[in-house]
């Protein structure tokens, strides 16, 4: 105690002098009394527990009339205290304790001590960080045989866990585990059922809280698959695809669209053929591989083959679900070929219809320049019913035919031939319901200008406004050989 008295002698003398000056009091303060006047207070709890991951900060306050220090964490490597000391007395200071994430499998703790200068007042604060809950999975890496069997994987854990499988052909035993906090190892037996189908996979998932581990389990099987192509599109004018097949079994191939013909070629190829797309919507077909022996299951492989449309549209029209198109006479409505041709046969199949008193139908071609030449079959009940050929304003020819509203209402097939007729001529012939109704021969612009191609279109050249509409089911285009 005498040493303590000596260390505060100066403090005592200063306090005495101050007291005498201010209050003119002659009382002498003792060393014990001076020490008793030192104040060190801390509002921290006796202990704190923080999480292993994303640990929260701990805060408390130190109030003191003497310099103070916080110790006990310096060598922990995972805890910081700010501030950890005060060189001078301060009335109040906020302290923040922070921890980094605990990646260990055991908890850790430190005891902080708050001490002050010239006082034996101390505070002890225990800070504990929880251990990291951990599940370590050593997965199955070998494939199961087709006959099935048992393989094992291990789960190391210091927390509870549960396992599940995406498909019921694989079962697990045990499918869960518990722990008292100490690391233990559980061996899980995975049993695969036998099968006769394709190679198959499933996913095993092991979950503990928010942590999840997954791995893939594979079982051997037959192979029945297409060799991938960059594209499964077939030309709109018709064509074919040849697709390779990898298989360890006998197989067959099917299409869900009758327009696409599928043929098995040997044991390792499929040929997909489709003709000119005479509908008004793109075609698609699911081409499917299946085992020849249905007892082997309903598995297989499939691709989607596509074919674009050959026509474009303008005016008032409606493409229907069956791929036909409904054209209306209240507008200048056209169905046009996307590609140009020289000589061709166009066969237009007509479906439902409503033919008004002023109904129109046009089937025309003009050259790419839009006026050098025009060949036209024109039905206008309020005007002309004729075949007309006009080449650059010369060689004009026009022949008329009879047509009334009742006759036009019976139409099911509208065919127009634009064919070479020798000596540089072109012959136009119109067929109504399969019967030739009229023809005309004139000079062919395609002979004099080989670069010119015909842009064919069908529909209304101008509005009839009499309620006319009709459905075009298909348009078949057959290019003609040139002389």
- Report whether the peptide linkage leading into residue 161 is cis, meaning its omega lies within 30 degrees of zero: no
Phi, psi of 332 (to 5 degrees): -85, 90
Q: If phi over 0 gives left and psi between -120 and 50 gives alpha, with beta otherwise, what is residue 194?
A: beta
Give the integer Cα–Cα distance in Å for 310 and 335. Answer: 10
Give the integer Cα–Cα distance in Å for 64 and 44. Answer: 14
User: What is the torsional sign of CA 293, 298, 301, 307?
Assistant: positive
Token pair in block for residue 159: 């927390």
Structural domains of the chain, ranges and CATH numbers in brackets? 2-36 (no CATH), 40-129 (2.60.40.10), 135-219 (2.60.40.10), 224-294 (2.60.40.10), 311-479 (2.60.120.200)
Give the integer Cα–Cα distance in Å for 84 and 66. Answer: 14
Q: What is the DSSP letter of 181?
A: S
Please report the pLDDT score of residue 333 as a whole number. Answer: 94
Give the integer Cα–Cα distance in Å for 458 and 349. Answer: 12
Please report where in the chains the tokens 């801390």 appear, as a residue: 42
Please report the pLDDT score of residue 370 as a whole number. Answer: 53
Order of strands, sheet of 224-226, starting from the edge strand that comes earlier in the sequence: 224-226, 239-247, 269-274, 261-265
Please report the pLDDT score of residue 296 as a whole number. Answer: 73
For 341-388, the three-class secondary structure string (H helix, E strand, C coil) is ECCEEEEEEEEEEECCCCCEEEEEEEECCCCCEEEEEEEECCCCEEEE
Q: What is the DSSP letter of 322?
A: T
Q: What is the DSSP letter of 107?
A: -
Q: Residue 95 pairs with which residues in a beta bridge? A: 60
Please report where in the chains the tokens 């004099």 appear, as a residue: 448
Please report the pLDDT score of residue 366 as a whole number. Answer: 66
Token pair in block for residue 220: 């051997």
Give the integer Cα–Cα distance in Å for 225 and 231. Answer: 16
Give the integer Cα–Cα distance in Å for 57 and 317. Answer: 70
Chain centroid to CA 338: how far?
32
> 117: number of CA atoms within 13 Å, CB side?
12
Instruction: Using DSSP, state whether 133 is helix, strand or coil.
Output: coil
CB 476 within 8 A of CB 346: yes
For the chain, how far is it from start to end, CA to CA, in angstroms? 131
CA distances from 356 to 292, 361, 381 (A): 56, 12, 9
CB 72 within 8 A of CB 114: no
Please report the pLDDT score of residue 303 as a whole number. Answer: 97
Q: Does an H or E element contain 296, and which?
A: none
Chunked in runs of 10, what are the mean pLDDT values of the chain (483 residues)? 37 38 48 77 92 86 92 94 83 91 85 93 93 85 96 91 96 92 88 90 90 92 93 97 94 96 96 97 96 80 96 96 96 91 92 95 68 79 87 71 94 93 88 94 74 82 92 94 69
Please report the pLDDT score of residue 285 as a whole number. Answer: 97
CA distances from 101 to 72, 108, 125, 160, 229 (A): 19, 11, 20, 21, 50
DSSP 62-87: EEESS-EEEES-TTTSSEEEES-EES
pLDDT in tens, 174-225: 999 988 777 789 999 999 999 988 889 999 999 987 778 999 999 999 899 9
CB 119 within 8 A of CB 38: yes
CA distances from 442 to 195, 254, 439, 451 (A): 73, 49, 10, 19
Phi, psi of 243 (to 5 degrees): -120, 130
Radius of gyration of the chain from its Cα atoms, rounded to whole angstroms: 47
Phi, psi of 441 (to 5 degrees): -120, 135
């Amino acid at each position: 105690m005498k040493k303590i008295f000596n260390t505060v002698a100066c403090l005592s003398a200063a306090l005495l002098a101050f007291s005498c000056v201010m209050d003119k009091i002659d009382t002498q303060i003792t060393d014990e009394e001076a020490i008793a006047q030192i104040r060190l207070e801390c509002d921290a709890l006796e202990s704190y527990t923080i999480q292993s991951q994303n640990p929260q900060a701990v805060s408390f306050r130190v109030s003191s009339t003497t310099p103070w220090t916080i110790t006990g964490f310096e060598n922990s490597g995972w805890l910081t205290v700010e501030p950890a000391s005060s060189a001078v007395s301060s009335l109040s200071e906020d302290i923040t304790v922070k921890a980094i994430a605990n990646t260990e499998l055991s908890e850790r703790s430190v005891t902080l001590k708050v001490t002050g200068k010239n006082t034996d007042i101390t505070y002890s604060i225990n800070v504990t960080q929880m251990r990291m809950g951990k599940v370590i999975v050593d997965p199955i890496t070998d494939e199961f045989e087709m006959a099935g069997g048992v393989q094992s994987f291990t789960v190391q854990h210091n927390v509870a866990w549960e396992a599940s499988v995406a498909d019921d052909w694989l079962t697990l035993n045990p499918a869960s585990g518990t722990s008292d906090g100490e690391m233990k190892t559980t061996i899980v037996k995975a049993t695969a059922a036998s099968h006769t189908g394709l190679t198959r996979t499933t996913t095993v998932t092991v979950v503990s809280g928010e942590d999840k581990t997954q791995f893939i389990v594979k079982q051997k099987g037959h192979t029945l698959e297409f060799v991938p192509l960059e594209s499964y599109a077939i030309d709109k004018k018709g064509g074919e695809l040849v697709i390779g097949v990898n298989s360890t079994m006998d197989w067959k191939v099917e299409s869900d669209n009758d327009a696409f013909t599928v043929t098995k070629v040997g044991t390792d190829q499929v040929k997909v053929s489709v003709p000119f797309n005479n509908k008004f919507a793109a075609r698609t077909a699911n081409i499917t591989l299946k085992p020849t022996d249905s007892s082997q299951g309903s598995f297989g492989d499939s691709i989607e083959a596509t074919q674009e449309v050959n026509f474009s549209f303008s005016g008032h029209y409606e493409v229907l679900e069956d791929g036909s198109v409904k054209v209306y006479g209240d507008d200048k409505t056209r169905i046009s070929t996307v590609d140009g041709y020289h000589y061709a046969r166009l066969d237009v199949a007509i479906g439902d219809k409503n033919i008004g008193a002023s109904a129109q139908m046009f089937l025309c071609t003009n050259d790419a320049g839009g006026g050098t030449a025009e060949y036209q079959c024109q039905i206008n009940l309020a005007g002309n019913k004729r075949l007309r050929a006009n080449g650059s304003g010369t060689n004009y020819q026009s022949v008329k035919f009879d047509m009334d509203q009742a006759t036009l209402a019976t139409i099911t097939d509208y065919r127009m031939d634009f064919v070479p007729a020798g000596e540089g001529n072109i012959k136009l012939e119109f067929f109504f319901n399969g019967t030739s109704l009229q023809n005309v021969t004139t000079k062919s612009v395609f002979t004099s200008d080989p670069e010119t191609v015909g842009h064919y279109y069908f529909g209304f050249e101008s509005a009839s406004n009499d309620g006319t509409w009709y459905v075009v089911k298909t348009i078949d285009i057959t290019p003609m050989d040139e002389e």
